[in-house]
Every structure is written in C-alpha cells, then in structure tokens.
Amino acid sequence: MADSDAQETRQPAKDSPFSIKNLLNIEDKPTKPKSFLGSSKGVFEGSFFSRLGDLSFPRFELPAQRIGLSGQYLERASTWWYPYTLGAHLRTGGSEKANLREASPAPDRRSPDLQKSDQDVKEESADDDVALDESDAEEPKKEILDQEDDWRRKTDTELDSEKKPCRKKKTRTVFSRSQVFQLESTFDIKRYLSSSERAGLAASLHLTETQVKIWFQNRRNKWKRQLAAELEAANLSHAAAQRIVRVPILYHENGAPETSGGPAANSPGSQSLLAFPHHIDSISSELHQTEAMTGSNEYKLNQGPEDSISAVKFSPSTAQFLLVSSWDCTVRLYDVGGNTMRMKYQHTAPVLDCAFYDPTHSWSGGLDAQLKTHDLNTDQDTIVGTHDAPIRCVEYCPEVNVMVTGSWDRSVRLWDPRTPCNAGTFTQPEKVYTLSVAGDRLIVGTAGRRVLVWDLRNMGYVQQRRESSLKYQTRCIRAFPNKQGYVLSSIEGRVAVEYLDPSQEVQKKKYAFKCHRLKEDGIEHVYPVNAISFHSVHNTFATGGSDGFVNIWDPFNKKRLCQFHRYPTSIASLAFNNDGTMLAIAASYMHEKGDINHPEDAIFIRQVTDAETKPKST
C-alpha cells in the first residue's frame, strides 16, 4: 500500500512539464498545466511538495546557454527552474503558512528574471522565437509560455507598485499683490539673496524661506529668458535694419490689417493702432512743396564727424550752437549760423551721448564709462565720475538742477553740476537704453521693454512701473514739452503716445501707430525708429528712421503733417532748436547691415516753417 502511494506520488512528477526530459524536448508534449494542477492539488496537500514554497532555497545564477539538439536550439527555462517558484504555485493558502512566508527571507530572493529589465525580457523572448522550429510551437507549449508570461507580467506590475509609492500632490503658493510687489522691488535691486536676507524678507512677508527661495529661482529663470530674447532682438536689429514681412502683409493701402490673427493683432497697441492719412509711399501736396524747398532751406555742416554720429543737441538758450557726439571718440561744438566747427574734445572711447548744462559747459559719456564736463570757454575738461559699464544717456534737468546719466550697468546716477560730484545711484531692472526728463520726473526705458517713471525730488522709490505697449525693443523715449506724457519708439517701425497720469480716463487717450515702412511689390519693409524730437512751441514731434526719412506728426489730431526728402542713409539723431525754427538731422549709418560701404555720415540743418510743424485746425 505504501509502495502504491509512493508510485502515485511520483507518477505526476514524471508526467509533469518540469521533468528534465521534457525540458530537453525529447519526450511527448505534456498535458495542459491547468488540468495537471487541478488534479494534483489534493495529492500534494500535506506532502513534502506543499512545503517547498516555505523553504529558503539557494539562488542559482545560470547563464542562458543553449543546448544543441539535432539542428535546433533551446534555451534553458529560467523562471520555472527554481523549486521555490513551483512551491509558490502549489501552496495551500493557510493563514499560518502565509504568515510564516511573509516573515521568511525567501521572497526577497527574487529570480534573475525578476531583476531583468523589460528590454532584456523582450530580447530573450525574441531569441526564443528565432531558436524554435515550427514543430516546437504547438498548442500545449504555447499555453505554458503564455501562462509564464502572464505570471511574469503580473509579478512585474506588483513589484513596480511596491517600488513607486504614491507621491503627495504639491500645493501651489498663492502670493498677494503686496507680497509680489515687495518681491519684485527686492529682485530689481538684488538678484541673489543671502540666507539672512532671505530669512528677513520671508519674515516681513509672512512667508517661509523656501517659498521666497523658490520665487527668486523662478523669477531669475524668467529674467534670463527675457535677457536671451532681448539679445536676440538686438542681434537682429544690428544684423539687418529692415525686416521683410512676406506673409501676411501687416499693412494695406486702406490701413486695415490683412488678418486679425496675425502678429499685429496680438500686439499690445493693436487696439488703438491708427492709420495716419498720409502713407510713406503716397506723397501729398505738402510733401511736394517741402521737396521743392530742399535746396534753399537746408544745408550740410562742414567738418563733420569721421565716424557714426550718436547724438545732436542744441544749446537750450541759443539757436546758434550745436553739440555733436560721435563714435570717433570726439564731442564737437558747431556754430550752425556760420557753418563752422568751433571746438572739439576727446574721449578715450566712442561717445554715446552729450548734453548742455549751460551755454558754456557740456557733459558727455560713452563706452569708456567716464562722465566728462567740458568748459567751452577755456577748452578744459574734467572727469566727474564713472559708471561700471558704458554710459548710454546724458540729460540735464533744469527744474532740479541735476545732471542725469543712464548706463548699461543697470543704474541711473544723479550728478550735482555745481560741485561737480555724484548725488546718488539708483538701480534699474535692466540696462538703460534711453531716458528723458519731463519737469521733475524722469522717464527711463530699459531692456526688456520696461518703462520706469521716477520723481527726481524723491528717488527713494519708483513712481510708476510700466511695460512698453510696443512688442519689440525700445529705441527712443522723449517727453512732451507740456510734461503730460511721452512718445516711445521701437525697432519694429512703431511709435506709441503715452500719458503720465495713471487715471483710467487719461489712459484711454494713449495710442500707437505704424511708420517708417516701405512697400515694394506687395512686401512691407519695416525699419527701426531711431530718433524723436519735440517742437518746443507746437508740441508736435519729428521721427527719424533707418529708412532715411524724417516725418513730422501731430499727436493731438493723430495726423502726419509732412515728410522730408529721403536722406542718404539712416537717421541716427534729431534735435529742434530752442525756438523751433531749425531742425538738426544726423544722417549716419548705424551698421544695421554690418560692415559695408555706406554713404558719408553727415549733419543737415533744416529751417522749418509753421506749415511743416504747426497742427492743422480741424
């Protein structure tokens, strides 16, 4: 009886698909494993095999070597070779055995197949497909492989769920307006905070140090992206002065945009974008009259600068003297009435801007970062101070009696002309490109299309922070003589008229318009607007662009009054004299197309009339 029981116990093991002969593919194909497991479940209960899953077996590191059998190859099965795996499928599921199994270290010893990546499993299965002949792919074998793959996929899924715990969803910090304002103000002054500064700022704003740290990290990333975009725009403006807009055409003859979904429709100033009645390519009767008078009312100054002209400024008290700064490292004083150069003085680098303090003293600065004052009577100059980077702008404010300089070192500095000495340094958010004085207020245009309004009598804080209503880089800002607003131009052939009063009713009056564009064969060429100058009597203004044209505009009636003839090259700077009877025009190549042959840089003095500059009555 014992022998028969032993024979019955051994018989299923002989017929099972786990025998060595079956693995070597020399026996008849096994029966389906489902029927085998179902029939042998009762036999294995309470026997030695039922406790195989509870035992700790050594781990076999078997290479996947192939055994040659009569022209066909078969890899050794890896998953089903381990005895504890068989025991895992034959366990009875008792509670005591389950607890013992959880406590034992055996489940932590996973088979090599469980440690393989998905790519290794795919490569192994691909090798099996290549090695097997058609006779090896019969239905019983497929079912065993399918069952093995299903078990393997299920095990991998369970392991992945154990390895990847559920991540807790982060909550976003919502900052109040006052917190954002304080953070922005601090960021404008300092990009990186020390641990003590960060702790103090967090305590004052009722935030954690981590929140302040993350805010500054995100703000610095945004700032770097803006710098990259600004640099790209600057490179484009220096590489080519004209932008050819092929599709769609931004501006039609009737003044309507071709498509409402184009770039012009998305610009901030598109809602109030105006089409002036006179187009650049359509010459009015006034323009014919202006061109007819060119020979008699305009002349060229002798002994002009030897390099590009950066600025022209008339004396505030007389129409006789004109100050000119240039890239030839000189500042020149001209007597426009006699068409002679009275004097010049040198810098150690190109000069970017200049200004009169009074009829006998001039101030200038440039790439050498030095601010100089020059006595025009004694021909003596003095270095007043320096910036940390090139000085881009020099202006005088008579209401406060202070000289103002703006630099690429992201600062505006005030200078007392009586001493002379530095009266204060005030950090700006970006490089200073342009600035203008409106009474006791200072309007600063920086990189990143930012506009800041300061009170020169109280420079402790920024009075207004604005963003340019134009989409592209700011080129020039000039304040109205009536001190109510300013005009801003960009490299994209647009001009914006803005007002300083922040009230909603006044802000409704602001607008923008296109100018300095030429159309040829249905293609619009767009040029930067480099210069703006206001007529001190009529409050009209002139603009000069890289297209070589000078236009005069009526900002109140929103009309162009006239357009002068085309000059040999780009218009770099403009200046009306104190009574508005003369206009200095600097026609100077600004290297928009690189280092190429270009017309000679020259300064033209034009006598203007009320017909050209006075607003027309409606």
| pLDDT tens-digit map of 50-64 | 555 555 555 545 444
Cβ–Cβ under 8 Å, residues 606 and 585: yes
Element (H, E) at 214: helix 209-239
What SS3 state is found at 257? Answer: coil
CA distance 443 to 239: 29
For residue 578, give the DSSP letter. T
Q: Which residues of 511-528 are buried (b: 16+ CB within 10 A; e: fewer)?
A: bbbbbbbbbeeeebbbbb
- Between these two residues, 491 and 138, which has the higher pLDDT value? 491
End-to-end CA distance of the chain: 127
Size of the chain, expressed as the number of residues it contains: 618
* pLDDT beyond 80 at 425: yes
- Single out the residue of 310, 312, 320, 294 nearest to residue 579, CA to CA: 320
CA distance 209 to 183: 13
CA distance 202 to 205: 5
pLDDT reported for residue 165: 57
Domain range 308-424, CATH architecture: 7 Propeller (2.130)
Adjacency order of strands within the sheet including 432-438: 432-438, 441-446, 450-455, 458-467
Radius of gyration of the chain (CA): 42
pLDDT reported for residue 118: 47
Region of 537 (left: φ > 0; alpha: ψ -120 to 50; beta: rest) is alpha
pLDDT reported for residue 206: 87
Partners of 375 in beta bridges: 361, 380
- Between these two residues, 422 and 161, which has the higher pLDDT value? 422
- Between these two residues, 463 and 234, which has the higher pLDDT value? 463
Q: What is the mean pLDDT of residues 573-577?
A: 96
pLDDT in tens, 427-460: 999 999 999 999 999 999 999 999 999 999 999 8
Cβ–Cβ under 8 Å, residues 296 and 263: no
Give the 3-state secondary structure percentages of the chain, helix then strand then coil, rounded to 5: 30, 30, 40
CA distance 141 to 80: 13
CA distance 575 to 476: 13
Instruction: Tell me phi and psi for residue 525, to 5 degrees.
Output: -100, 125
Q: Which two structure tokens, joined as six digits, stand for 236?
A: 């484009």
Q: Where are the alpha helices (DSSP H) in 498-568?
A: 504-507
CA distance 28 to 25: 8
pLDDT reported for residue 258: 37
Q: What homologous superfamily is domain 177-239 in, according to CATH?
A: Homeodomain-like (1.10.10.60)
Residue type, 73: Y
The whole model's pTM is what? 0.56
Task: Tell me if domain 245-298+428-618 and domain 308-424 are identical in fold.
Answer: yes
CA distance 109 to 228: 54
- Single out the residue of 509, 507, 510, 513 nearest to residue 490, CA to CA: 513
- Would you place residue 295 in the very low, low, confident or very high pLDDT band (cuts 50, 70, 90)? low
CA distance 602 to 585: 8
pLDDT reported for residue 174: 84
CA distance 350 to 471: 30
Q: How many CB atoms lie within 10 A of CB 429?
A: 21
- Between these two residues, 130 and 82, which has the higher pLDDT value? 82
Cβ–Cβ under 8 Å, residues 131 and 73: yes
Q: What homologous superfamily is domain 245-298+428-618 in, according to CATH?
A: YVTN repeat-like/Quinoprotein amine dehydrogenase (2.130.10.10)
* pLDDT beyond 50 at 101: no
pLDDT reported for residue 166: 60
pLDDT in tens, 235-267: 665 555 444 433 333 333 333 333 333 333 334
Residue type, 418: R
- Residue ranges covered by each domain of the chain: 2-154, 177-239, 245-298+428-618, 308-424
pLDDT reported for residue 363: 96
Q: What is the mean pLDDT of the chain?
A: 75
pLDDT in tens, 113-170: 444 444 444 444 444 443 333 444 444 444 444 555 554 555 555 555 555 556 666 6
Tokens 């001009």 belong to residue: 495
Instruction: Tell me phi and psi for residue 245, to 5 degrees.
Output: -95, 105
What SS3 state is found at 433? Answer: strand
Q: Percentage of residues in the chain with pLDDT exceeding 90?
A: 46
